[in-house]
């Protein structure tokens, strides 16, 4: 299991479109992707879960990847968030 804490910088936060970009990208990996935010564990592969978590711009989240390709998954997730989630 690997994890990293990161701050969300895209203006909209995990809005529907950024959440979709993220969930779709994560779906490609076998590992479980969890976003720890505000004391909740959010399934990083589920668009609905991410949106329901209401993660706004400037929020700090912890990404946790657990599985065979956990390192690649975490790397991809971080790059995606740092690049602004397609905004």
Partner 1 sequence: MRITDLLKKESIELNAAVSSKSEAIEKLIELQINGGCISDAEMYKRDILAREASASTAVGDGIAIPHAKSDGVKEPSLAAITVPGGVDYGALDGNPSNLLFMIAAPNDGDVHLEVLSRLMTILMDADFRQKLLGAKTKEDFLAVIDAKENEKYPDEPKAEEKPKTGYRILAVTACPTGIAHTYMAAEALERAGEKLGYSIKVETNGSGGAKNVLTKEEIEAADGIIIAADKSVDMARFDGKRLISTKVSDGIKKPEELIQKIVNGDAGIYKHSGEAAKSESSENESFGRKIYKHLMNGVSNMLPFVVAGGIFIAIAFLIDTIAGAPQDANFGTNTPAAAFFKTIGNYAFNFMIPILAGYIGKSIADRPGLLVGFVGGYLATTGSTFTAITGDIPSGFLGALFAGFVGGYLMLGLEKLCDKMPKALEGIKPVLIYPIVGLGLIAVIMCAVNPIMGMINTGLTNLLNSMGSSSKVILGCVLGGMMAIDMGGPFNKAAYVFGTAAIASGNYDIMAAVMIGGMVPPIAIALAATFMKKKFTKAERKSAPVNYIMGLSFITEGAIPYAASDPLRVIPSCVVGSAVAGGLSMLFKCTLMAPHGGIFVFAVVGNWPLYIVSLVAGAIVGAVMLGLLKKKVTE
Q: What are the residues binding partner 1 (CB under 8 A)?
A: 12-17, 20, 24, 47-49, 51-54, 56
63, β-bridge pairs: 4, 35
27 or 78: whose CB is closer to partner 1? 27
Catalytic one of 8, 10, 14, 15: 15
Min CB(2)–partner 1 separation in Å: 27
Min CB(48)–partner 1 separation in Å: 5
Min CB(71)–partner 1 separation in Å: 26
CB 45 within 8 A of CB 33: yes
List all residues 6 or more positions away from 60 whose beta carbon is below 8 Å from its beta carbon.
5, 6, 7, 8
For residue 34, what is the DSSP state? E
Active site residues: 15
């Amino acid at each position: 299991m690997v994890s990293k804490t990161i701050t969300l910088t895209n203006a909209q936060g995990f809005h529907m479109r950024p959440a979709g970009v993220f969930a779709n990208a994560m779906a490609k990996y076998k590992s479980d992707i969890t976003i720890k935010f505000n004391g909740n564990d959010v399934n990083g592969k589920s668009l609905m879960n991410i949106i329901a978590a209401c993660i706004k711009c400037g929020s700090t989240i912890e990404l946790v990847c657990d599985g065979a390709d956990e390192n690649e998954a975490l790397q991809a997730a971080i790059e995606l968030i740092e690049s602004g989630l397609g905004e």
